[in-house]
Chain A
Amino acid sequence: MFLRDLTAKWRFVLAVAVLGLLMTGPFLLTSVLIWLGASPGMREVLVQHLLPQVPLGGMLTASGFLVGLILIRRLFNRYVTGMAAMVEELRLMLGSNRSFRITEEGPPELRELVRAINDLATQRDAYIDDVESQVAKAKANVEEEKNRLAALMSELAQAVVVSNLDGRILLYNNRARYMFESLAKGPTSVSSGALIGLGRSITSILETSQVDYARDTIRIQLERGNRHPVANFVTTTDNGQLIRVQIAPVLRNRLDSQDVQVASGYILLIENITRLLEQEARRDAALGDLTEGSRSSLGTLRAAVEMLADNPDMGTEDRDRFVGVLASEVTRMSQRLDNTLTLLADTLRQHWPLDDMLAADVIEAAGRRVQERLKLPVDVNTSTVEPLWIRADSFSLVSAMAYLASKIAEAGDVRSFALKLGSDEKFVHIDLLWTGLSMSSETVLSWEIDPMREDHGVNPPTLREVLDRHAGEIWYQRQRTTSQASIRLLLPKAKPDQDLLAKIDREPSSDRPEYYDFDLFDRPMGQVDLDQPLSNLVYTVFDTETTGLEPANGDEIIQIGALRIVNGRLLHQENFDQLVDPRCQLKAASMAIHGITDSMLLGQPTIDLVLPAFHDFCADTVLVGHNVAFDMRFLELKESSLGLRFDQPVLDTLLLSAVAHPNQQSHSLEAIMQRLGIQMEQRHNALADATATAQVFMRLLPALAEQGIVTLRQALDASQKTYFAQVKY
């Protein structure tokens, strides 16, 4: 058995030994047997006759052995050693060079084998080529579809953002980018409120509570079997712009049941409606002035005319007074009409988005909200004879009710609330009831004009504004006998267009385009998880230029450049590029390095404005830099005074390069770039250096993977070890 495990060399030695044994063994054995069987006299005769012949026998045996040895060696070289070389060639063919073919040599059987192997390889190559060409074709198709979608999106006049279920942005068009850039407030190009970027959360550009509410609305509509659910909301940005958002889900069939569709992501259409709404508000005001003023004037005119007509015997003085009234009211009416027409000129009809919805749904949502916020029991009674419809922006209505309930709870001891739905011929009544605490109508009136802060972030609307939007009214009422108090919300009844709703539902869902199948839909992004593969993480690669090398002695940052790597792609357009006024003179020595002059920094924002913006830019990502400890010292020195923490993981390309290529002398950025074949013309500008660092980082990742460094945790550990190694020596 053990013969199989012997190396070729030892098998050769063994074969030689066996040959020797075979050639000498039988002869020696015969000699010994004859010797043992012979009589002493006979032995003497044998010695006398045979001993002189031994050298001849030995020589013949030795030459026979030599011939045998040569034969064995030749066989060995041809079959065993030749096979070993062939195996190596075969491996080469299997691995790195598949077009390699084994040369046909050696004995015929071996040549036959080699020919068969080469034929097999040719057949395999044909299959591989075929598969590869099909894959390439499929890839090209997908790529073409993606490009077509991108082109389509960039042509759209509306801003479009696509997110996955977690609200991470997978796709946005140019219009969306321009819009959020123009909404940015503050000193830098990427100030907070405008952070649109792949892999970022949509809540970095839109109000979280409203987005959540819209997603809930869509989920509930889907559960009810509505195949085209849509949610609308209007939100206010940090700088007071009004943004209207329409959200529709990207649907797919649930795995366990083909009939049930679930959301796999969302498409958001975003519009800046600030100007439209301003126009609408002006137009509404003008129309209101016109109708109310006209009614009032007409009332006066009618009364005066009727007095004149009904009293022909009126005295001259009275008559003159009434005629004077007529003249002045008619003049006022003409002026009012002129003013209105001027104001109304070129205003567009544009509505605050109100949807037809069931009042019961709104009340239930309001009940849940009150319960969550105040931790008080809420009895919700929505039983009505017929379903009651209202036209409403449910988010603001629900917020308004929650706002009222929390105001009441703040005013005194209230243990529970009830919400009750009712109606009369024209109106839907939503009553918020409680027992005990009574209050004055003035208090309730003052709540109407206070901004509702809880759900709305900056620029919250007042209750009065929400009521006006819905043409609603509220008032406080109280039953003296039962000490039951309530606030009634009165809203006009709506008649939804049932035919339209039915028609929309009947449309086949296959009308929808089908190019949403990006892998990113299912990929969790954003959160920094140490055990994620390095290729899955989002990175902010950055570099700073400074006035000098010693932050502790007053050297300051004068430029920050950064860009993002998402899903293994360097996103050049999502960059951060900002000069910073250091509030001190630049030193001539440093100017020679970065080429930034005092005049360039004039009027630039200071670090206390830039660093918070950079902090937002790199939130939830891994920081990467070259010799990054230097840059981090500058950042960390500012942390306490600005109330910021850069506490995410940090990777250093200098250390990673030392991990990947431990035998290289230099790990300067220039040396690494040269080694990895990266060309860069411009250097020593923060954004250019960050770009170079990012390219170095992406080339280093495969080298690290070869050493088994795949996760962020492994990369951090390995960096730390080289760092310590460097410190030790």
Chain B
Amino acid sequence: MTHKILIVDDEPNIVMSLEFLLKKEGFATETAGDGDVALDKVRSFMPDLMLLDVMMPKKSGFEVCEILRADTVLKQPRIIMLTAKGRETEQAKGLALGADAYMLKPFSTKDLVAKIREILAA
């Protein structure tokens, strides 16, 4: 079965690499450039996993995460938060709000793929 992954980041440069990477790894991908688009895409694309950037225009990654986790009807995607902020309290907050994992930029693409596979297998 092909897993579906939604890539959410407002930086097109990284979206491009991540999309290339994940397609090559055999995942079906979709992308979103801000929080609002991300929420729409979750409902239409029904991803198994989301790569969610924290700092984004319109809605932050935290807000998207909270809204999704509060939705009792929706099929819940796994969430890996990506952030450029190093503050540890923020990572703790992300996990407390329902993220499954938290990756600090810059990360290695190998680690990311490993993390994705680990979470999807769990």
B40 within 8 Å of A by Cβ?
no
A507 within 8 Å of B by Cβ?
no
A325 to B89, CA, bound (A): 32
How would you classify the secondary structure of chain B's contact residues: helix, strand, loop or mixed?
helix
Smallest CB separation, A130 vs chain B (Å): 74
Closest to B62 in A: A475
Cβ-defined contact, A307 with B20, below 8 A: yes
- Interfacial chain B residues near A291, Cβ < 8 Å: 84, 86
Cβ-defined contact, B86 with A295, below 8 A: yes
- Residue among B18, B106, B107 facing the most chain A CB atoms (10 A cut-off): B106
A294 to B13, CA, bound (A): 14
B55 within 8 Å of A by Cβ?
yes
- Interfacial chain A residues near B71, Cβ < 8 Å: none
A369 to B87, CA, bound (A): 30
Given contacts A302-B108, A303-B109, A475-B96, contact A296 B17 (CB under 8 A): no
Cβ-defined contact, A298 with B92, below 8 A: no
B21 within 8 Å of A by Cβ?
yes
B114 within 8 Å of A by Cβ?
no
Cβ-defined contact, A302 with B107, below 8 A: yes
- Interfacial chain A residues near B84, Cβ < 8 Å: 291-296, 299
Smallest CB separation, A302 vs chain B (Å): 4
A214 within 8 Å of B by Cβ?
no
Which of B13, B17, B97 is in CB contact (< 8 Å) with A475?
Answer: B97
Cβ-defined contact, B106 with A328, below 8 A: no
A497 within 8 Å of B by Cβ?
no
Cβ-defined contact, B109 with A427, below 8 A: no
A322 to B19, CA, bound (A): 12
Cβ-defined contact, A471 with B87, below 8 A: yes
A492 within 8 Å of B by Cβ?
yes
Cβ-defined contact, B105 with A298, below 8 A: yes
- Interfacial chain A residues near B20, Cβ < 8 Å: 307, 318
B85 within 8 Å of A by Cβ?
yes
- Interfacial chain A residues near B11, Cβ < 8 Å: 296, 300
- Interfacial chain A residues near B119, Cβ < 8 Å: none
A321 within 8 Å of B by Cβ?
yes
A292 to B55, CA, bound (A): 10
A488 within 8 Å of B by Cβ?
yes
Cβ-defined contact, B16 with A295, below 8 A: no
A473 to B83, CA, bound (A): 16
B90 within 8 Å of A by Cβ?
yes
Smallest CB separation, B93 vs chain A (Å): 5
Give the interface residue-count category, chain B: 20 to 34
User: Chain B 1-43, CB within 8 Å of chain A: the 1/0 string?
Assistant: 0000000000101101110110010000000000000000000
User: Chain B 97-117, CB within 8 Å of chain A: the 1/0 string?
Assistant: 100000011111110000000
A503 within 8 Å of B by Cβ?
no
Cβ-defined contact, B86 with A473, below 8 A: no
Smallest CB separation, A259 vs chain B (Å): 43
Which of B13, B55, B88, B107 is in CB contact (< 8 Å) with A325?
Answer: B13
A664 within 8 Å of B by Cβ?
no
How would you classify the secondary structure of chain A's contact residues: helix, strand, loop or mixed?
helix
B49 within 8 Å of A by Cβ?
no
Which residues of A from 433 to 474 have beta carbons under 8 Å from B?
Answer: 441, 445, 471-473
Cβ-defined contact, B24 with A304, below 8 A: no
- Interfacial chain B residues near A306, Cβ < 8 Å: 17, 21, 108-110
Interface size on A, residues (CB 8 A): 36
Which of A298, A307, A441 is in CB contact (< 8 Å) with B106?
Answer: A298
A329 within 8 Å of B by Cβ?
yes
- Residue among B18, B89, B108 facing the most chain A CB atoms (10 A cut-off): B89
- Interfacial chain A residues near B92, Cβ < 8 Å: 426-427, 473, 490
Cβ-defined contact, B106 with A301, below 8 A: yes
A263 to B25, CA, bound (A): 72
A311 within 8 Å of B by Cβ?
yes
Cβ-defined contact, A300 with B109, below 8 A: no
A477 within 8 Å of B by Cβ?
yes
Which residues of A from 309 to 346 have beta carbons under 8 Å from B?
Answer: 310-311, 318, 321-322, 325, 328-329
A328 to B108, CA, bound (A): 20
Which residues of B from 52 to 103 have beta carbons under 8 Å from A?
Answer: 55, 63, 66, 70, 82, 84-90, 92-93, 96-97
A511 to B122, CA, bound (A): 66
Closest to B54 in A: A292
Cβ-defined contact, A490 with B93, below 8 A: yes
A300 to B20, CA, bound (A): 13
- Interfacial chain B residues near A296, Cβ < 8 Å: 11, 14, 84, 105
Cβ-defined contact, B97 with A325, below 8 A: no
Cβ-defined contact, B96 with A488, below 8 A: yes
- Interfacial chain B residues near A329, Cβ < 8 Å: 13
Cβ-defined contact, B88 with A303, below 8 A: no
A300 to B16, CA, bound (A): 9
A396 to B106, CA, bound (A): 35
Cβ-defined contact, A302 with B106, below 8 A: yes
Which of A292, A310, A491 is in CB contact (< 8 Å) with B85?
Answer: A292
Cβ-defined contact, A307 with B21, below 8 A: yes
Closest to B14 in A: A300
Smallest CB separation, A481 vs chain B (Å): 14
Which of A299, A441, A472, A491 is in CB contact (< 8 Å) with B105?
Answer: A299
Cβ-defined contact, B106 with A299, below 8 A: yes
Which of B66, B105, B108, B110 is in CB contact (< 8 Å) with A295?
Answer: B105
- Interfacial chain A residues near B14, Cβ < 8 Å: 296, 299-300, 303
Which of B13, B105, B108, B110 is in CB contact (< 8 Å) with A304?
Answer: B13
Smallest CB separation, A77 vs chain B (Å): 107
Cβ-defined contact, A307 with B109, below 8 A: yes
- Interfacial chain A residues near B18, Cβ < 8 Å: 303
- Interfacial chain A residues near B66, Cβ < 8 Å: 441
Which residues of A from 402 to 447 have beta carbons under 8 Å from B?
Answer: 426-427, 441, 445
- Interfacial chain A residues near B109, Cβ < 8 Å: 302-303, 306-307, 310
A–B complex contacts, Cβ < 8 Å, 19 sampled: A292-B55, A292-B84, A292-B86, A293-B84, A294-B84, A295-B105, A298-B105, A302-B107, A302-B109, A303-B18, A304-B13, A306-B21, A306-B108, A307-B17, A310-B109, A321-B16, A325-B13, A441-B70, A488-B96
In the A-B complex, the 10 residue pairs with the closest CB atoms = A299-B105, A303-B17, A298-B106, A295-B84, A299-B106, A296-B84, A473-B89, A292-B84, A300-B14, A295-B105
Report A's interface with B, CB cutoff 8 A: 291-296, 298-304, 306-307, 310-311, 318, 321-322, 325, 328-329, 426-427, 441, 445, 471-473, 475, 477, 488, 490-492
Report B's interface with A, CB cutoff 8 A: 11, 13-14, 16-18, 20-21, 24, 55, 63, 66, 70, 82, 84-90, 92-93, 96-97, 104-110
